Amino acid sequence: MESVSHENRLFPPTSEFVENAHISGMDAYKAMYVKSLEDPEGFWAEAAQDLHWFKPWDSVLDASNAPFYKWYDGSRTNLSYNCLDRNIEAGLGNKVAIHWEGEPGDTRELTYKQLHLEVCRFANALKARGLQKGDRVAIYLPMIPELAIAVLACARIGAVHSVIFAGFSADSIRDRVLDSETCMVITGDGGYRRGKMLELKKIVDEGVASCACVKDVIVVKRGDEHPVDCPMQDGRDSWYHELVADVSDDCTAEEMEAEDLLFLLYTSGTTGKPKGIMHTTAGYQVFSYLTSKYVFDLKADDVYWCTADVGWITGHTYIVYGILQNGVTQVMYEGAPNHPDEGRFWEIIEKYKVSIFYTAPTAIRAFMKWGDKWVTGRDLSSLRLLGTVGEPINPEAWIWYHKMIGAERCPIVDTWWQTETGGHMLTPMPGATPTKPGCATTPFFGIEPAILTDDGKEVEAGILAIKKPWPGMLRGIYGDPQRFKDTYWCKWGGKYYFPGDGARRDEHDYIWILGRVDDVVNVSGHRIGTAELESVFVEHKDVAESAVVGVPHEIKGQGLIAFVTVIEGRDHDDHLRKELIAMIDKSIGKFARPERILFSSDLPKTRSGKIMRRILRDIAEGKELGNTTTLADPGVVEELQEQFLKS
Binding region for ligand PRX (CB under 6 A)? 267, 313-314, 389-392, 414-419, 440, 499-501, 513, 516, 522, 527
Quick one: which H or E segment has residue 563?
strand 557-566
Q: Output DSSP code: residue 79.
A: H
Give the nearest distance from C-beta 525 to ligand PRX in angstroms. 6
Give the nearest distance from C-beta 391 to ligand PRX in angstroms. 5
Give the nearest distance from C-beta 442 to ligand PRX in angstroms. 13
Q: Can you tell me the distance from the alpha carbon of 471 to that of 61, in angstroms, rounded to the nearest whole number?
A: 8
Nearer to ligand PRX, 203 or 440 (CB): 440
Nearer to ligand PRX, 389 or 588 (CB): 389
Nearer to ligand PRX, 405 or 597 (CB): 405
Q: Output DSSP code: residue 383.
A: -
Give the nearest distance from C-beta 522 to ligand PRX in angstroms. 5
Nearer to ligand PRX, 220 or 440 (CB): 440
- 505 within 8 A of 519, measured Cβ to Cβ: no
- 383 within 8 A of 405, measured Cβ to Cβ: yes
Give the nearest distance from C-beta 499 to ligand PRX in angstroms. 6
Q: Can you tell me the distance from the alpha carbon of 247 to that of 420, in angstroms, rounded to the nearest whole number?
A: 36
Nearer to ligand PRX, 81 or 140 (CB): 140
Q: Can you tell me the distance from the alpha carbon of 186 to that of 240, in angstroms, rounded to the nearest whole number?
A: 9
- 121 within 8 A of 249, measured Cβ to Cβ: yes
Question: Closest Cα partner for 384 from 362, 413, 357?
Answer: 357
Nearer to ligand PRX, 190 or 471 (CB): 471
Question: Is 204 strand, coil or helix?
Answer: helix
Q: Checking DSSP bridges between strand 461-466 and strand 501-505, what pairing results, if any? A: antiparallel
- 210 within 8 A of 243, measured Cβ to Cβ: no
Instruction: Give the CB-nearest residue to ligand PRX.
Output: 419
Q: Can you tell me the distance from the alpha carbon of 107 to that of 101, in angstroms, rounded to the nearest whole number?
A: 4
Give the nearest distance from C-beta 312 to ligand PRX in angstroms. 6
Question: Closest Cα partner for 264 from 171, 82, 136, 417?
Answer: 136
Q: Can you tell me the distance from the alpha carbon of 132 to that of 135, in angstroms, rounded to the nearest whole number?
A: 6
Give the nearest distance from C-beta 198 to ligand PRX in angstroms. 21
Nearer to ligand PRX, 78 or 314 (CB): 314
- 446 within 8 A of 36, measured Cβ to Cβ: yes
Q: Measured between alpha carbons, how far apart are the two ends of the chain, in Å?
A: 31
Nearer to ligand PRX, 217 or 389 (CB): 389
Nearer to ligand PRX, 124 or 394 (CB): 394
Give the nearest distance from C-beta 524 to ligand PRX in angstroms. 11
- 41 within 8 A of 60, measured Cβ to Cβ: yes
- 498 within 8 A of 465, measured Cβ to Cβ: yes
Q: Checking DSSP bridges between strand 96-101 and strand 107-111, what pairing results, if any? A: antiparallel
Nearer to ligand PRX, 142 or 390 (CB): 390
**Upper half-sphere CA count for residue 319 (Cβ side, 13 Å):** 28
Angle between helices 200-208 and 170-179 (to 10 degrees): 50
Q: Can you tell me the distance from the alpha carbon of 220 to that of 230, in angstroms, rounded to the nearest whole number?
A: 11
Give the nearest distance from C-beta 251 to ligand PRX in angstroms. 31
Q: Can you tell me the distance from the alpha carbon of 250 to that of 236, in angstroms, rounded to the nearest whole number?
A: 26
Nearer to ligand PRX, 419 or 600 (CB): 419
Give the nearest distance from C-beta 232 to ligand PRX in angstroms. 34
Strand partners, 332: 100
Give the nearest distance from C-beta 633 to ligand PRX in angstroms. 34
Nearer to ligand PRX, 469 or 529 (CB): 529
Whether cis (ω within 30° of 0) applies to the bond prior to 340 is yes
Nearer to ligand PRX, 158 or 411 (CB): 411
Nearer to ligand PRX, 81 or 321 (CB): 321
Give the nearest distance from C-beta 361 to ligand PRX in angstroms. 8
Q: Can you tell me the distance from the alpha carbon of 567 to that of 421, in angstroms, rounded to the nearest whole number?
A: 42
Q: In terms of C-beta distances under 8 Å and separation of at least 24 residues, what long-range contacts does 622-630 make, across chains too? A: 628/604, 630/606
Give the nearest distance from C-beta 645 to ligand PRX in angstroms. 30
Which residue type occupies 409? Answer: R
Give the nearest distance from C-beta 514 to ligand PRX in angstroms. 8
Concatenate the DSSP letters of all residues of 27-67 into one string. HHHHHHHHHHHHSHHHHHHHHHTTS--SB--SEEEE-TTTT
Nearer to ligand PRX, 57 or 140 (CB): 140
Nearer to ligand PRX, 23 or 389 (CB): 389
- How many C-beta atoms lie closer than 10 Å to residue 113's C-beta? 16
Give the nearest distance from C-beta 57 to ligand PRX in angstroms. 27
- How many C-beta atoms lie closer than 10 Å to residue 32's C-beta? 16
Whether cis (ω within 30° of 0) applies to the bond prior to 67 is yes
Strand partners, 503: 462, 513
Give the nearest distance from C-beta 318 to ligand PRX in angstroms. 9
Residue 605 phi/psi, 5° resolution? -130, 155
